[in-house]
């Protein structure tokens, strides 16, 4: 099961990256009442990180067997 182990390892990295981007002082960099592309900066940042996490997880667990 070395492949399964590798997937788990990558998921941990995604988790840590997410925790860092969403739950660390990094967040305060974007927590400002300004607009970017006409959208509140914080919302834009959160949804971007969120999407990136989902893409990363989907990529990590993708099924190569097919």
Annotate 40-63 with b (16+ C-beta within 10 A) or e (fewer): ebbeebbeebeeebeebeeeeeee
How many Cα neighbours within 13 Å face the side chain of 48? 11
CB of 2 vs another protein, minimal distance in Å = 13
In the complex, the residues that contact another protein under the rule CB under 8 A are: 4, 7-8, 11-12, 14-15, 18-19, 22-23, 27, 31, 33, 35, 37-40, 42-43, 46-47, 50-51, 53-55, 57-58, 61, 63
CB of 5 vs another protein, minimal distance in Å = 10
CA dist., res. 8 & res. 14, Å (int): 10
Residue number with CB closer to another protein (2 or 40): 40
């Amino acid at each position: 099961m070395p492949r399964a182990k590798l997937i788990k390892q990558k998921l941990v990295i995604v988790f840590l990256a997410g925790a860092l981007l969403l739950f660390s002082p990094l967040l305060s960099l974007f927590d400002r009442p300004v607009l970017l592309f006409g959208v509140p900066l914080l919302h834009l940042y959160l949804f971007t990180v969120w999407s990136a996490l989902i893409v990363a997880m989907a990529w990590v667990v993708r099924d190569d067997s097919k």
